[in-house]
Structure 1
Amino acid sequence: MSAFEFNTILIIGATSGIGWALAERFVTEGRQVIISGRRQERLDEFTSKYPGVKSYVFDCTETGTIHRFASTVATENPTLDCVILNAGKQRGFNFARPETVDLSIIDDEVLTNYTSQLHLTQAFLPYLLKKEKASLVYTTSGLAMVPLGRCPNYCATKAALHHFCISLRAHLKDTSVRVIEIMPPAVQTELHDEKYQPDIKNGAALGMPLQAFVDETWEDLVKGQEHDEYPIGMAKHWYNQIEPVRHEAGKILPMTPANVDV
């Protein structure tokens, strides 16, 4: 697949971690960047550092606001040609002790990591499909391929999003919209913060350094990849072991969308 050729990029979930770092990289590469997230103070911090960046306060879990958000962003930024869906939460569970499993946290994790991403996809596609070239970029995880026992729901939501990307790519293959999937390993971000996952100590030091992750991600996006799937760091090893088999198996099943009418 061709190189990353998009110029006006919205990053949803850009107030910390991977989203923040990708936004910085796109700015330094001369792209027009739009950021969104829940924390106004973090958006203000970013736009103070990079005055050309526009920002929107937005919480993807408030699904009733998604269509209004998409309409506002697309109308105010008519050159928008790339939407990066980057929101994510990870929590630990032990189902051998079911009394400790808070189902409201399970539901919130599913909503943040998966359901809201489908809502956003459906909301932005009418605008992106009108473009000569456009893309939807999803941040999944290496754990979409190989689950980690301590965070089963996170792994399941990322696996669901990975499979959705595969199907969506088939749905859009004859359109102008590319479906790009970034599959990070563990990266040194707030995702593993002890505040959210108290059983992890010094979580901020867990995984691949954030700058190294961003550098490799940008390098791979520029080079392009046949399936538009970009495993990074140690996720490449899992990908090379697992996904080629899936690519072959996937040729057996029909990938045409359902025949539906409005």
Structure 2
Amino acid sequence: MNIENNTILITGGATGIGFALAKHFLAANNNVIICGRRAEALLAAKQKLPKLQIRVADLNNVDQRNSLVEWTTGNFSNLNILVNNAGIEREFRVKDSSLADDFLNENEIETNLTAPIHLTFLLLPQLLKQREAAVVNVSSGLGFVPIAVMPIYCATKAAMQSFSKSLRYQLKETSVKVFDVAPPLVETELHEKVGAKSSQPKGILPEQVAKKTLQAIRKDNYEIAIGLARVLRIASKIAPSQMFKIINQNASGE
């Protein structure tokens, strides 16, 4: 797929992988719009990359998803790439007395699964009108092998991988391509969240994820497992129980 001269919407684009993707897409001569719920983070991103278009939107809110699509398609009629990157990860330990309330309050399924699927469906008519278009879903290597204390996050990422595969099949005769990006642990995000020890491999940088993602999109490599995520994908097929045990022992420091 051509990675130049596109108009791209990136959710959660103010920081981390989303910001790194925005930076690399801008460098490839694309028009890039980022959205997120925190205005200050979006403004900081725009200060670093003045060519960015920004929009405040809480994608957990259905009305704001609709408003984002209305604004985006109204102002950027040639929008042809959606990057579903926004996501959150939380620990849930089954012995915690507040477990049920924490689950309802965190909205992890809404953020990681419901919102990107709904946004994709809302924008599909727009994408299908374009000569070449794409949906890029950022999942995780933990969609292949879950970390036990992050059950909702891992389940939603596995679901997004399945969604991408099914969507790709249904759109195979159209102009819309569907990519799934499965990063490994990424520095400043997931690596710190799972409490990894210094003796464990450090997460890779968001810049590395962005660079490899653009390279893969250019080559039409639809399932993009990066770094350790490649190992997890293979191991999940040939030795799932053993890999699950290894990754969870490492995450818990056992």
User: Which bin holds the TM-score, normalised by the shorter protein?
Assistant: 0.7 to 0.9
- The 8 Å contact of residues 6 and 134 in structure 1, kept in 2 or not, is answered as no
Describe the SS at the equivalent of 1:99. Answer: coil
- The 8 Å contact of residues 220 and 230 in structure 1, kept in 2 or not, is answered as yes
Instruction: Return the alpha-carbon distance in structure 2 between the equivalents of residues 6 and 147 of structure 1.
Output: 37
Instruction: Return the alpha-carbon distance in structure 1 between the equivalents of residues 46 and 18 of structure 2.
Output: 14
RMSD: 2.4
Matched, 1:229 2:223: yes
Which has the larger displacement, 168-177 or 216-225?
Answer: 216-225
Instruction: Return the alpha-carbon distance in structure 2 between the equivalents of residues 173 and 70 of structure 1.
Output: 24
What amino acid does structure 1 have at the position aligned with 2:206? L
Please list the CA deviations of residues 13-49 of structure 1 after superposition, one character each: whole Å capped at 9, or x if unmatched. 1121110111111111221111111111121122223
Instruction: Return the alpha-carbon distance in structure 1 between the equivalents of residues 100 and 186 of structure 2.
Output: 26
Structure 1 unaligned blocks of 5 or more = 245-262
Instruction: Return the alpha-carbon distance in structure 2 between the equivalents of residues 73 and 188 of structure 1.
Output: 31
Instruction: Return the alpha-carbon distance in structure 1 between the equivalents of residues 62 and 230 of structure 2.
Output: 33
CA deviation after TM superposition for structure 1 residue 206, in Å? 4.8
Instruction: Return the alpha-carbon distance in structure 2 between the equivalents of residues 243 and 168 of structure 1.
Output: 22
- The 8 Å contact of residues 13 and 19 in structure 2, kept in 1 or not, is answered as yes
- The 8 Å contact of residues 15 and 38 in structure 1, kept in 2 or not, is answered as no
What amino acid does structure 2 have at the position aligned with 1:162? Q
- The 8 Å contact of residues 11 and 85 in structure 1, kept in 2 or not, is answered as yes
Percent of aligned pairs sharing the same letter: 35
What amino acid does structure 1 have at the position aligned with 2:224? Y
Instruction: Return the alpha-carbon distance in structure 2 between the equivalents of residues 237 and 211 of structure 1.
Output: 20
Instruction: Return the alpha-carbon distance in structure 1 between the equivalents of residues 169 and 5 of structure 2.
Output: 21
- The 8 Å contact of residues 16 and 190 in structure 1, kept in 2 or not, is answered as no
* C-alpha spacing 1:64/1:206, structure 2 compared with 1 (3 Å): farther
CA deviation after TM superposition for structure 1 residue 217, in Å? 2.4
Matched, 1:42 2:41: yes
Matched, 1:159 2:158: yes
Structure 2 unaligned blocks of 5 or more = 239-254
Match of 2:252 in 1: none
Instruction: Return the alpha-carbon distance in structure 1 between the equivalents of residues 34 and 157 of structure 2.
Output: 22
* C-alpha spacing 1:17/1:134, structure 2 compared with 1 (3 Å): same
Please list the CA deviations of residues 71-112 of structure 1 after superposition, one character each: whole Å capped at 9, or x if unmatched. 2101101121101010111111222x1524144435501110
* C-alpha spacing 1:224/1:44, structure 2 compared with 1 (3 Å): same
Please list the CA deviations of residues 205-248 of structure 1 after superposition, one character each: whole Å capped at 9, or x if unmatched. 951122222222232222332xx11011111122244469xxxx
Find 1:99's aligned residue among 84, 97, 100.
97
